[in-house]
A = this chain, B = another copy of it.
Amino acid sequence: MTTVGILGGGQLARMLALAGAPLGVRFLVVDSLADACASQVAPLLQADWRDFDALERFAGRIDVATFDFENVPAETAQWLTEHTAVYPNPRALAVSQDRLAEKTLFREIGLGTPAFAAVDSREDLARALETIGFPAVLKTRRLGYDGKGQFRLRSAGDIDAAWAALGPAPLILEAFVPFERELSVIAVRSREGEFRAYPLTQNWHADGILSMSLAPAPDSAALADEAYALARRIAEKLDYVGTFALELFVHQGRLLGNEMAPRVHNSGHWTIEGAPCSQFENHVRAVLGLPLGDTTALGVNVMFNWIGELPESAPVLAEPRAHWHDYGKAPRAGRKVGHATLCAFTAEEMRDRLARVAWALGREDQAAPVLRALG
C-alpha cells in the first residue's frame, strides 16, 4: 500500500486522489480548512503548513509528498525533503514562486519573455517604465495567481496608484504584450527523466481567471515542437518530477514565456476524458516512479471553467461525450467551483456541441472565442 501526501486540499488534490485511487494509491491531504474539498474523497490532516508537529505526523504516514498549490512556504518544502521523498523538488517550487527567477530561467533556456525589470521601490518603478514603456503590468513577484497581485499601468499618471496598490514588496514590471493567443504546454517528467507532453492547449481568460480551454490548439503544429523542447529544457534544468504547465503567449508568431506552474494545471483538466492518461494520473505515476501514461489527445476537447457558482448541470449531462466536474465547494465570487469538458471526434462536431451547450446554459459569450478558434 502506497500513500501519497498532498499539501493543499483544493480541487487539484481532489482530482489527483480520484485519478490515483484506481492505481491502488491512497492519499493523505494536509490543509488548514476542515472543509477542504479534497477531504470528500481522501483523508484530511487539518493543519497549518507551518505546523511542524503536524507535518511530522504527516511525513510518518506517507511514502511521498507532493503539492496542489505552488505557494507552499519554502521552509515547509525544505523540511519535508529531510523527512520524506518530495516531488517536485523545492527548487522547482521556489523558481515558480518568484516571477523574477521564473522569467530569468525562461531567458536562460532560450524562451523569450516580455521585457521585464525588478522593482523594489517607487524609484525603480519609474526608472523601469522609462525602458519598458507603456502599457506595462506591475506584478508582485510572489504569491500571485489568477490575476491577483497585478496592476496595469497605462501612463505615468498610474505610477502612484500602482505603487500604492502593490508596494512596498518585491515586484516585477513587465511590458504589456498584445499577444495573438495564449497557449499552454502540460507536460510530465518521470523520476528517470522521461518527458512527455500533451498536445498544446489554447486558453482564454476572463478577469485574470482561466475561462475556456481548447485542445489540441488549432493550427499549432508549427509551434508544438518548439514548445515541447522549451518545456523539456525547463524540466531538465529544474530536475522536475511530475506534471507541470508552461503558459505561453504567441506574439507575432513567436512564443513568449508567461509563467510556469509546478503542478497539475487548470488548462489540463480536459485530459481527464480527452487523453488516455490524464495529467492527474500521470502526476501520480511520475511521483511514484511508475511508467508514464499516454499523452495523446483523443479528438477535440473544450473545457468550460465554472467560476463563482455552478450553472445547471442537466444541459451538459444530456449531451453525448460531455463531462461534469463539481468540486464540492461552496459558491463564492471568483472561486473555481467546477468545470465541464466537451469531447468530440472532429472540430465540426465540436462546434455543434459547443454552440448547443453554450446556448442552453446562456454562456454564448464565454464560448464565443472558442467557436471562432474552431473556424
A residues whose Cβ falls under 8 Å from a Cβ of B:
1, 14, 17-18, 21-24, 26, 40-42, 273, 276, 285, 290-291, 293-294, 296, 298, 310, 313-314, 317-318, 320-321, 323-328, 338, 343
Contact = CB atoms under 8 A, between A and B. Distances in A.
A291 B276 contact: no
Contacts of A325: 22
B21 A41 contact: yes
Given A21-B41, A24-B338, A323-B22, A317 B343 contact: no
Contacts of A313: 23, 290
Contact of A317 (B41, B291, B298, B323): B291
A14 B21 CA distance: 9
A317 B293 contact: yes
Contacts of A328: 1, 21, 24, 26
Contacts of A26: 40, 328
Contacts of A293: 317
10 contacts: A1-B328, A18-B18, A18-B21, A18-B22, A21-B328, A23-B313, A23-B324, A24-B338, A276-B320, A285-B317
A273 B324 CA distance: 16
A320 B294 CA distance: 5
Contact of A276 (B41, B324, B343): B343
Given A41-B41, A291-B317, A291-B318, A327 B276 contact: no
A21 B324 CA distance: 10
Nearest to A293: B317
A157 B325 CA distance: 60
Which of A1, A21, A26, A310 is packed against the most chain B CB atoms within 10 Å?
A21
Contact of A40 (B21, B321, B324): B21
Which of A23, A42, A285 is packed against the most chain B CB atoms within 10 Å?
A23
B314 A290 contact: yes
Nearest to A295: B320
Contacts of A22: 18, 323-326
A294 B276 contact: no
B23 A326 contact: yes
A296 B325 CA distance: 21
Given A26-B328, A328-B24, A291 B320 contact: no
Contacts of A21: 14, 18, 40-41, 328
